[in-house]
Chain A
Amino acid sequence: MTEKQPSILFRLDPRSGIAPYRQLVDQVRRAVETGRLRGGDQLPSVREVVGQVTINPNTVHRAYRELENRGLAEGRLGLGTFVTENPDVHATEAGNVELIRQLQLWAKRARAAGLLDDDMLELLRQILNRDERVRS
Protein backbone atom coordinates (compact mmCIF):
# COMPACT_ATOMS: atom_id res chain seq x y z
CA MET A 1 0.00 0.00 0.00
CA THR A 2 1.18 3.47 -0.82
CA GLU A 3 -0.89 5.40 1.71
CA LYS A 4 0.81 8.48 3.07
CA GLN A 5 1.73 8.65 6.76
CA PRO A 6 -0.98 10.26 8.88
CA SER A 7 -0.18 13.67 10.39
CA ILE A 8 -1.16 12.47 13.85
CA LEU A 9 -1.53 9.07 15.50
CA PHE A 10 -4.44 9.01 17.92
CA ARG A 11 -4.58 6.98 21.11
CA LEU A 12 -7.65 6.01 23.06
CA ASP A 13 -7.84 5.04 26.70
CA PRO A 14 -11.26 3.49 27.32
CA ARG A 15 -10.55 3.28 31.07
CA SER A 16 -9.75 6.96 31.53
CA GLY A 17 -13.37 7.91 32.05
CA ILE A 18 -12.86 10.75 29.54
CA ALA A 19 -15.27 10.68 26.61
CA PRO A 20 -13.51 9.32 23.48
CA TYR A 21 -14.34 12.41 21.36
CA ARG A 22 -12.80 14.59 24.09
CA GLN A 23 -9.61 12.49 24.02
CA LEU A 24 -9.23 13.11 20.28
CA VAL A 25 -9.85 16.85 20.67
CA ASP A 26 -7.27 17.09 23.47
CA GLN A 27 -4.67 15.18 21.44
CA VAL A 28 -5.02 17.54 18.46
CA ARG A 29 -4.91 20.58 20.75
CA ARG A 30 -1.72 19.33 22.43
CA ALA A 31 -0.12 18.49 19.07
CA VAL A 32 -0.84 22.04 17.87
CA GLU A 33 0.47 23.54 21.12
CA THR A 34 3.73 21.62 20.88
CA GLY A 35 4.14 22.27 17.15
CA ARG A 36 3.77 18.64 16.08
CA LEU A 37 0.81 19.81 14.03
CA ARG A 38 1.06 23.08 12.08
CA GLY A 39 -1.38 25.32 10.28
CA GLY A 40 -2.46 23.72 7.00
CA ASP A 41 -1.68 20.16 8.10
CA GLN A 42 -4.36 17.73 7.05
CA LEU A 43 -5.95 15.68 9.82
CA PRO A 44 -6.46 12.00 9.03
CA SER A 45 -9.82 11.21 7.44
CA VAL A 46 -12.49 9.55 9.55
CA ARG A 47 -11.74 6.30 7.70
CA GLU A 48 -8.05 6.60 8.54
CA VAL A 49 -8.76 7.26 12.23
CA VAL A 50 -11.05 4.25 12.36
CA GLY A 51 -8.14 2.26 10.91
CA GLN A 52 -5.79 3.62 13.61
CA VAL A 53 -7.88 3.14 16.72
CA THR A 54 -10.99 1.12 17.43
CA ILE A 55 -13.50 3.92 17.58
CA ASN A 56 -16.99 4.70 16.38
CA PRO A 57 -16.80 6.91 13.23
CA ASN A 58 -19.54 9.16 14.61
CA THR A 59 -17.22 9.95 17.51
CA VAL A 60 -14.48 11.09 15.11
CA HIS A 61 -16.96 13.32 13.26
CA ARG A 62 -18.01 14.74 16.60
CA ALA A 63 -14.38 15.48 17.59
CA TYR A 64 -13.64 17.19 14.27
CA ARG A 65 -16.78 19.31 14.59
CA GLU A 66 -15.65 20.37 18.05
CA LEU A 67 -12.19 21.29 16.70
CA GLU A 68 -13.87 23.40 14.01
CA ASN A 69 -16.06 25.12 16.59
CA ARG A 70 -12.96 26.01 18.59
CA GLY A 71 -11.29 27.41 15.48
CA LEU A 72 -8.50 24.84 15.60
CA ALA A 73 -9.48 23.05 12.41
CA GLU A 74 -11.51 23.73 9.30
CA GLY A 75 -13.31 21.42 6.92
CA ARG A 76 -12.60 21.99 3.24
CA LEU A 77 -15.35 20.63 1.06
CA GLY A 78 -14.33 17.41 -0.64
CA LEU A 79 -10.75 17.66 0.65
CA GLY A 80 -10.92 16.88 4.34
CA THR A 81 -10.21 18.57 7.65
CA PHE A 82 -7.14 20.79 8.10
CA VAL A 83 -5.46 22.55 11.00
CA THR A 84 -6.30 26.26 10.78
CA GLU A 85 -3.54 28.62 9.59
CA ASN A 86 -2.10 30.36 12.66
CA PRO A 87 -4.25 28.39 15.07
CA ASP A 88 -4.60 30.30 18.29
CA VAL A 89 -4.62 27.57 20.90
CA HIS A 90 -5.04 30.16 23.61
CA ALA A 91 -7.97 31.84 21.90
CA THR A 92 -10.29 30.75 24.67
CA GLU A 93 -8.02 32.14 27.36
CA ALA A 94 -7.46 35.42 25.50
CA GLY A 95 -11.19 35.97 25.36
CA ASN A 96 -11.54 35.44 29.06
CA VAL A 97 -8.89 37.69 30.57
CA GLU A 98 -11.28 38.94 33.20
CA LEU A 99 -12.38 35.45 34.22
CA ILE A 100 -8.77 34.33 34.56
CA ARG A 101 -7.92 37.38 36.64
CA GLN A 102 -10.81 36.67 38.99
CA LEU A 103 -9.81 33.03 39.25
CA GLN A 104 -6.22 33.99 40.11
CA LEU A 105 -7.50 36.29 42.80
CA TRP A 106 -9.78 33.56 44.14
CA ALA A 107 -6.93 31.02 44.17
CA LYS A 108 -4.80 33.45 46.14
CA ARG A 109 -7.52 33.94 48.74
CA ALA A 110 -8.22 30.22 48.92
CA ARG A 111 -4.56 29.51 49.54
CA ALA A 112 -4.44 32.19 52.23
CA ALA A 113 -7.45 30.50 53.81
CA GLY A 114 -5.42 27.28 54.01
CA LEU A 115 -6.89 25.35 51.06
CA LEU A 116 -4.56 22.94 49.27
CA ASP A 117 -4.48 22.69 45.45
CA ASP A 118 -6.45 19.45 45.58
CA ASP A 119 -9.10 21.09 47.76
CA MET A 120 -9.51 23.88 45.25
CA LEU A 121 -9.77 21.47 42.33
CA GLU A 122 -12.34 19.43 44.23
CA LEU A 123 -14.36 22.55 44.98
CA LEU A 124 -14.39 23.52 41.32
CA ARG A 125 -15.30 19.98 40.34
CA GLN A 126 -18.19 20.02 42.82
CA ILE A 127 -19.50 23.19 41.28
CA LEU A 128 -19.11 21.93 37.72
CA ASN A 129 -20.76 18.61 38.56
CA ARG A 130 -23.93 20.43 39.50
CA ASP A 131 -24.09 22.34 36.27
CA GLU A 132 -26.95 22.37 33.85
CA ARG A 133 -25.97 19.96 31.16
CA VAL A 134 -29.11 17.98 31.85
CA ARG A 135 -31.28 17.59 28.78
CA SER A 136 -34.71 19.05 29.43
Chain B
Amino acid sequence: MTTPVIETDGLAKRFGRKWGLRDCTLSVPPGKVAALVGPNGAGKSTLLRMAAGLSRPTSGLIRVLGRVPSANDASLLQRVGYLDQERPLYRGFRVEEMFRFGEGTNPRWNMARAQAYVDQLGISLRDRVNGLSGGQQAQVALTMCLAKQPELLVLDEPAAELDPVAREDLLRLLMREVAEQGTNVVLSTHALGDVGSICDYLIIMTHSRVVLADDLEFVVESHRFLSATSSNAPALPEGVTVIDTRTSSRDVTHLARITLPLGDETWQVAVPTLDEIIMAYLRRGRDSGSSPSPDDSTTANGGVS
Protein backbone atom coordinates (compact mmCIF):
# COMPACT_ATOMS: atom_id res chain seq x y z
CA MET B 1 0.00 0.00 0.00
CA THR B 2 1.29 3.43 -0.85
CA THR B 3 -1.48 5.49 0.77
CA PRO B 4 0.26 8.05 2.99
CA VAL B 5 -0.43 7.46 6.69
CA ILE B 6 -0.94 11.20 7.15
CA GLU B 7 -1.54 13.61 4.29
CA THR B 8 -2.36 17.29 4.67
CA ASP B 9 -2.99 20.05 2.16
CA GLY B 10 -3.07 23.69 3.26
CA LEU B 11 -4.12 22.50 6.71
CA ALA B 12 -4.76 25.31 9.21
CA LYS B 13 -6.12 25.63 12.72
CA ARG B 14 -7.01 28.89 14.44
CA PHE B 15 -7.53 29.27 18.16
CA GLY B 16 -9.44 32.54 18.57
CA ARG B 17 -7.22 35.12 16.90
CA LYS B 18 -4.08 32.99 17.00
CA TRP B 19 -3.05 30.43 14.39
CA GLY B 20 -1.97 27.10 15.84
CA LEU B 21 -1.13 25.78 12.41
CA ARG B 22 -1.01 27.48 9.04
CA ASP B 23 -0.64 26.31 5.48
CA CYS B 24 0.64 22.86 6.46
CA THR B 25 1.17 20.57 3.48
CA LEU B 26 2.69 17.21 4.21
CA SER B 27 2.68 13.55 3.23
CA VAL B 28 4.07 10.84 5.52
CA PRO B 29 4.69 7.61 3.58
CA PRO B 30 3.70 4.25 5.10
CA GLY B 31 6.16 1.90 6.81
CA LYS B 32 8.00 4.67 8.64
CA VAL B 33 8.77 5.80 12.13
CA ALA B 34 8.47 9.52 11.48
CA ALA B 35 9.88 12.14 13.83
CA LEU B 36 8.14 15.50 14.06
CA VAL B 37 10.63 18.07 15.31
CA GLY B 38 10.22 21.78 15.95
CA PRO B 39 10.21 24.41 18.68
CA ASN B 40 7.33 24.67 21.14
CA GLY B 41 4.46 26.48 19.48
CA ALA B 42 5.40 25.31 15.99
CA GLY B 43 2.10 23.47 15.72
CA LYS B 44 3.24 19.88 16.30
CA SER B 45 0.60 19.00 18.91
CA THR B 46 -2.09 20.81 16.93
CA LEU B 47 -1.25 18.70 13.88
CA LEU B 48 -1.13 15.43 15.86
CA ARG B 49 -4.46 16.15 17.59
CA MET B 50 -6.12 16.72 14.23
CA ALA B 51 -4.59 13.47 12.94
CA ALA B 52 -6.17 11.67 15.90
CA GLY B 53 -9.59 13.18 15.17
CA LEU B 54 -9.57 15.15 18.44
CA SER B 55 -9.70 18.52 16.77
CA ARG B 56 -11.16 19.78 13.50
CA PRO B 57 -9.27 21.90 10.95
CA THR B 58 -10.23 25.54 10.51
CA SER B 59 -9.38 25.13 6.83
CA GLY B 60 -7.49 22.80 4.55
CA LEU B 61 -7.55 19.03 4.35
CA ILE B 62 -6.15 16.19 6.43
CA ARG B 63 -6.34 12.49 5.59
CA VAL B 64 -5.26 9.73 7.93
CA LEU B 65 -4.82 6.24 6.46
CA GLY B 66 -6.58 7.66 3.41
CA ARG B 67 -9.63 8.97 5.27
CA VAL B 68 -10.75 12.24 6.80
CA PRO B 69 -10.63 11.80 10.58
CA SER B 70 -13.66 12.85 12.57
CA ALA B 71 -14.97 12.08 16.02
CA ASN B 72 -17.92 10.31 14.35
CA ASP B 73 -15.77 7.93 12.28
CA ALA B 74 -15.19 5.28 14.92
CA SER B 75 -13.92 2.71 12.41
CA LEU B 76 -11.01 5.01 11.47
CA LEU B 77 -10.23 6.11 15.03
CA GLN B 78 -9.99 2.46 16.09
CA ARG B 79 -7.10 2.08 13.65
CA VAL B 80 -5.21 5.03 15.18
CA GLY B 81 -3.55 4.97 18.60
CA TYR B 82 -3.00 8.42 20.09
CA LEU B 83 -1.00 9.26 23.19
CA ASP B 84 0.05 12.62 24.56
CA GLN B 85 2.02 13.61 27.63
CA GLU B 86 -1.08 13.64 29.82
CA ARG B 87 -1.13 9.80 29.76
CA PRO B 88 -4.84 9.37 30.34
CA LEU B 89 -4.96 6.75 33.09
CA TYR B 90 -7.40 6.46 35.96
CA ARG B 91 -5.09 6.83 38.93
CA GLY B 92 -7.24 4.79 41.32
CA PHE B 93 -7.61 1.86 38.89
CA ARG B 94 -5.57 -1.32 38.95
CA VAL B 95 -3.77 -2.17 35.70
CA GLU B 96 -6.25 -4.99 35.00
CA GLU B 97 -9.15 -2.58 35.47
CA MET B 98 -7.57 -0.21 32.95
CA PHE B 99 -7.28 -3.13 30.55
CA ARG B 100 -10.92 -4.17 31.03
CA PHE B 101 -11.90 -0.57 30.35
CA GLY B 102 -9.79 -0.68 27.16
CA GLU B 103 -11.40 -3.96 26.14
CA GLY B 104 -14.87 -2.48 26.62
CA THR B 105 -14.16 0.58 24.49
CA ASN B 106 -12.04 -0.94 21.67
CA PRO B 107 -13.39 -3.74 19.48
CA ARG B 108 -9.88 -4.56 18.22
CA TRP B 109 -8.50 -4.88 21.77
CA ASN B 110 -6.00 -7.73 22.24
CA MET B 111 -6.02 -8.67 25.93
CA ALA B 112 -3.36 -11.37 25.61
CA ARG B 113 -0.96 -8.91 24.08
CA ALA B 114 -1.67 -6.23 26.71
CA GLN B 115 -0.95 -8.74 29.46
CA ALA B 116 2.21 -10.01 27.77
CA TYR B 117 3.55 -6.46 27.47
CA VAL B 118 3.14 -5.50 31.12
CA ASP B 119 4.43 -8.95 32.09
CA GLN B 120 7.66 -8.32 30.15
CA LEU B 121 7.94 -4.93 31.85
CA GLY B 122 7.64 -6.44 35.32
CA ILE B 123 4.33 -4.71 36.05
CA SER B 124 1.62 -6.76 37.79
CA LEU B 125 -2.01 -6.64 36.68
CA ARG B 126 -2.89 -6.13 40.34
CA ASP B 127 -0.74 -2.96 40.62
CA ARG B 128 -2.60 0.28 41.12
CA VAL B 129 -1.81 3.01 38.57
CA ASN B 130 -1.02 5.62 41.23
CA GLY B 131 1.43 3.21 42.86
CA LEU B 132 3.50 2.93 39.67
CA SER B 133 6.54 5.06 38.85
CA GLY B 134 6.24 7.72 36.15
CA GLY B 135 8.09 5.45 33.75
CA GLN B 136 5.78 2.52 34.44
CA GLN B 137 2.71 4.73 34.02
CA ALA B 138 4.05 5.78 30.62
CA GLN B 139 4.55 2.11 29.73
CA VAL B 140 1.00 1.20 30.79
CA ALA B 141 -0.37 4.15 28.79
CA LEU B 142 1.56 3.03 25.71
CA THR B 143 0.45 -0.58 26.28
CA MET B 144 -3.17 0.65 26.31
CA CYS B 145 -2.45 2.21 22.92
CA LEU B 146 -0.73 -0.88 21.50
CA ALA B 147 -3.41 -3.32 22.67
CA LYS B 148 -5.83 -1.52 20.33
CA GLN B 149 -3.66 -3.01 17.54
CA PRO B 150 -3.51 0.30 15.71
CA GLU B 151 -2.17 0.65 12.18
CA LEU B 152 -0.89 4.11 13.06
CA LEU B 153 0.50 5.34 16.35
CA VAL B 154 0.40 9.11 16.89
CA LEU B 155 2.57 9.96 19.88
CA ASP B 156 3.04 13.49 21.22
CA GLU B 157 6.38 13.56 23.06
CA PRO B 158 5.92 10.03 24.38
CA ALA B 159 9.15 9.96 26.38
CA ALA B 160 9.16 13.53 27.73
CA GLU B 161 9.94 13.87 31.43
CA LEU B 162 11.01 10.23 31.78
CA ASP B 163 14.36 9.34 33.33
CA PRO B 164 16.94 7.86 30.92
CA VAL B 165 16.25 4.21 31.78
CA ALA B 166 12.47 4.63 31.61
CA ARG B 167 12.68 6.41 28.25
CA GLU B 168 14.94 3.69 26.88
CA ASP B 169 12.48 1.00 28.05
CA LEU B 170 9.54 2.88 26.54
CA LEU B 171 11.22 3.44 23.17
CA ARG B 172 12.33 -0.18 23.05
CA LEU B 173 8.75 -1.32 23.71
CA LEU B 174 7.74 0.91 20.82
CA MET B 175 10.44 -0.45 18.47
CA ARG B 176 9.51 -4.03 19.33
CA GLU B 177 5.94 -3.22 18.32
CA VAL B 178 7.20 -1.80 15.02
CA ALA B 179 9.34 -4.91 14.44
CA GLU B 180 6.56 -7.37 15.21
CA GLN B 181 3.43 -5.63 13.94
CA GLY B 182 4.82 -3.26 11.31
CA THR B 183 2.95 -0.39 12.95
CA ASN B 184 3.32 3.07 11.38
CA VAL B 185 4.49 5.70 13.87
CA VAL B 186 4.46 9.48 13.86
CA LEU B 187 5.95 10.97 17.01
CA SER B 188 6.96 14.43 18.12
CA THR B 189 10.11 14.87 20.15
CA HIS B 190 12.68 17.38 21.37
CA ALA B 191 15.28 14.66 21.96
CA LEU B 192 17.38 14.86 18.81
CA GLY B 193 19.40 11.79 19.86
CA ASP B 194 16.25 9.66 19.62
CA VAL B 195 15.58 10.85 16.08
CA GLY B 196 18.73 9.25 14.68
CA SER B 197 18.31 5.91 16.43
CA ILE B 198 14.58 5.15 16.25
CA CYS B 199 13.24 7.20 13.35
CA ASP B 200 13.69 6.79 9.60
CA TYR B 201 11.70 9.78 8.43
CA LEU B 202 12.11 13.38 9.54
CA ILE B 203 9.67 16.26 9.49
CA ILE B 204 10.88 19.66 10.73
CA MET B 205 8.28 22.32 11.48
CA THR B 206 8.86 25.96 12.35
CA HIS B 207 6.17 28.62 12.61
CA SER B 208 3.49 26.05 11.79
CA ARG B 209 5.08 25.28 8.44
CA VAL B 210 6.87 22.16 7.28
CA VAL B 211 10.40 23.21 6.29
CA LEU B 212 11.83 19.73 5.70
CA ALA B 213 10.28 16.29 5.24
CA ASP B 214 12.36 13.42 3.91
CA ASP B 215 13.85 9.99 4.56
CA LEU B 216 16.36 10.37 7.36
CA GLU B 217 19.15 8.77 5.40
CA PHE B 218 18.69 11.20 2.56
CA VAL B 219 18.55 14.16 4.94
CA VAL B 220 22.18 13.56 5.93
CA GLU B 221 23.30 12.86 2.38
CA SER B 222 21.75 16.03 1.01
CA HIS B 223 23.28 18.53 3.43
CA ARG B 224 26.85 19.82 3.61
CA PHE B 225 28.87 22.48 5.37
CA LEU B 226 30.50 24.82 2.85
CA SER B 227 33.27 27.08 4.15
CA ALA B 228 35.37 29.79 2.54
CA THR B 229 37.33 32.90 3.45
CA SER B 230 34.80 35.73 3.68
CA SER B 231 36.95 38.25 1.80
CA ASN B 232 36.90 36.22 -1.40
CA ALA B 233 34.04 33.78 -0.96
CA PRO B 234 33.21 32.35 -4.36
CA ALA B 235 29.69 32.19 -5.73
CA LEU B 236 27.61 29.34 -4.36
CA PRO B 237 27.59 26.23 -6.52
CA GLU B 238 24.46 25.42 -8.46
CA GLY B 239 21.73 23.50 -6.68
CA VAL B 240 22.66 24.79 -3.24
CA THR B 241 20.14 26.20 -0.75
CA VAL B 242 21.66 27.87 2.29
CA ILE B 243 19.86 26.93 5.50
CA ASP B 244 22.07 28.60 8.08
CA THR B 245 25.20 30.72 7.96
CA ARG B 246 27.86 31.31 10.58
CA THR B 247 30.74 33.71 10.27
CA SER B 248 34.04 34.17 12.05
CA SER B 249 36.31 37.18 11.56
CA ARG B 250 37.81 35.43 8.53
CA ASP B 251 35.53 32.66 7.38
CA VAL B 252 31.98 32.10 6.37
CA THR B 253 30.37 28.66 6.82
CA HIS B 254 27.03 27.75 5.32
CA LEU B 255 25.00 24.70 6.19
CA ALA B 256 23.38 24.02 2.86
CA ARG B 257 21.00 21.63 1.20
CA ILE B 258 22.49 20.30 -2.01
CA THR B 259 20.58 18.91 -4.94
CA LEU B 260 23.49 18.42 -7.34
CA PRO B 261 26.97 16.96 -6.87
CA LEU B 262 29.43 19.60 -5.69
CA GLY B 263 31.87 19.92 -8.55
CA ASP B 264 33.16 23.24 -7.30
CA GLU B 265 36.61 23.04 -5.73
CA THR B 266 36.61 26.47 -4.13
CA TRP B 267 34.49 25.67 -1.07
CA GLN B 268 35.77 23.54 1.80
CA VAL B 269 33.22 20.75 2.28
CA ALA B 270 32.34 18.87 5.48
CA VAL B 271 29.56 16.44 6.36
CA PRO B 272 27.26 17.69 9.11
CA THR B 273 25.74 15.42 11.74
CA LEU B 274 21.98 14.96 11.88
CA ASP B 275 21.87 17.15 15.02
CA GLU B 276 23.69 19.95 13.23
CA ILE B 277 21.26 19.79 10.32
CA ILE B 278 18.19 19.89 12.56
CA MET B 279 19.65 22.71 14.65
CA ALA B 280 20.35 24.75 11.50
CA TYR B 281 16.69 24.54 10.46
CA LEU B 282 15.45 25.37 13.96
CA ARG B 283 17.86 28.29 14.27
CA ARG B 284 16.76 29.65 10.91
CA GLY B 285 13.15 29.33 12.03
CA ARG B 286 13.88 31.27 15.20
CA ASP B 287 15.83 34.01 13.41
CA SER B 288 13.32 34.47 10.62
CA GLY B 289 10.68 35.68 13.09
CA SER B 290 7.01 34.87 13.09
CA SER B 291 6.19 35.66 9.48
CA PRO B 292 8.56 33.66 7.29
CA SER B 293 8.18 33.72 3.55
CA PRO B 294 8.40 30.33 1.86
CA ASP B 295 11.74 31.17 0.28
CA ASP B 296 13.55 33.47 2.63
CA SER B 297 16.77 31.61 1.96
CA THR B 298 19.49 32.18 -0.55
CA THR B 299 18.66 29.73 -3.26
CA ALA B 300 20.43 28.88 -6.43
CA ASN B 301 18.03 26.24 -7.62
CA GLY B 302 14.56 26.01 -6.14
CA GLY B 303 13.46 26.22 -2.54
CA VAL B 304 13.26 23.78 0.32
CA SER B 305 10.73 21.09 -0.33
| Secondary structure call for the A interface | loop
Is the Cβ of A133 less than 8 Å from the Cβ of B221? yes
Is the Cβ of A50 less than 8 Å from the Cβ of B176? yes
A19 and B200 alpha carbons, distance in the complex (Å): 11
A27 and B262 alpha carbons, distance in the complex (Å): 31
Is the Cβ of B269 less than 8 Å from the Cβ of A56? no
The reply on B259 being an interface residue by CB < 8 A is yes
The reply on B231 being an interface residue by CB < 8 A is no
Q: Interface code B214-229, partner A: CB below 8 Å = 1, 0 otherwise? A: 0001101110100000
Q: Which A residues are CB-close (under 8 A) to B74?
A: none
Q: A54-B168, A57-B175 are in contact. Are A132 and B261 (CB under 8 A)?
A: yes
Is the Cβ of B179 less than 8 Å from the Cβ of A50? yes
Give the contacting residue for A54; candidates B198, B200, B269, B270; CB below 8 A. Answer: B198
Is the Cβ of A56 less than 8 Å from the Cβ of B261? no
**How many positions in chain A have a CB within 8 Å of any CB in the partner chain?**
27
Q: Which B residues are CB-close (under 8 A) to A135?
A: 218, 221-222
Give the contacting residue for B197; candidates A46, A47, A54, A125; CB below 8 A. Answer: A54
A65 and B230 alpha carbons, distance in the complex (Å): 44
Closest to A47 in B: B179
Interface centre among B31, B179, B218, B268 (most CB of A within 10 A): B179
Is the Cβ of A55 less than 8 Å from the Cβ of B221? no
A132 and B263 alpha carbons, distance in the complex (Å): 9
Q: Which B residues are CB-close (under 8 A) to A129?
A: 224, 262, 269-271
The reply on A76 being an interface residue by CB < 8 A is no
Is the Cβ of B176 less than 8 Å from the Cβ of A51? yes
Is the Cβ of B197 less than 8 Å from the Cβ of A57? no
Contacting chain B: which of A10-18, A33-41, A101-109?
A: A10-18
The reply on A96 being an interface residue by CB < 8 A is no
Is the Cβ of A130 less than 8 Å from the Cβ of B263? yes
Closest to B270 in A: A129
Give the contacting residue for B221; candidates A50, A51, A134; CB below 8 A. Answer: A134
Q: A51-B172, A51-B176, A57-B178 are in contact. Are A20 and B224 (CB under 8 A)?
A: no
A20 and B197 alpha carbons, distance in the complex (Å): 6
Closest to A58 in B: B200
Is the Cβ of B269 less than 8 Å from the Cβ of A126? yes
Q: Which A residues are CB-close (under 8 A) to B198?
A: 54-56
Question: Top 6 closest A-B pairs, CB basis?
Answer: A57-B179, A17-B273, A129-B269, A14-B193, A132-B261, A130-B262
* Chain A interfacial positions (CB closer than 8 Å to B): 12, 14-15, 17, 19-20, 46-47, 50-51, 53-60, 125-126, 129-135
* Chain B interfacial positions (CB closer than 8 Å to A): 31, 33, 168, 171-172, 175-176, 178-180, 193-194, 196-200, 217-218, 220-222, 224, 258-263, 268-271, 273-274
10 CB contacts below 8 A, A to B, read A14-B193, A14-B194, A47-B180, A50-B172, A53-B197, A54-B198, A55-B175, A133-B221, A134-B221, A135-B221
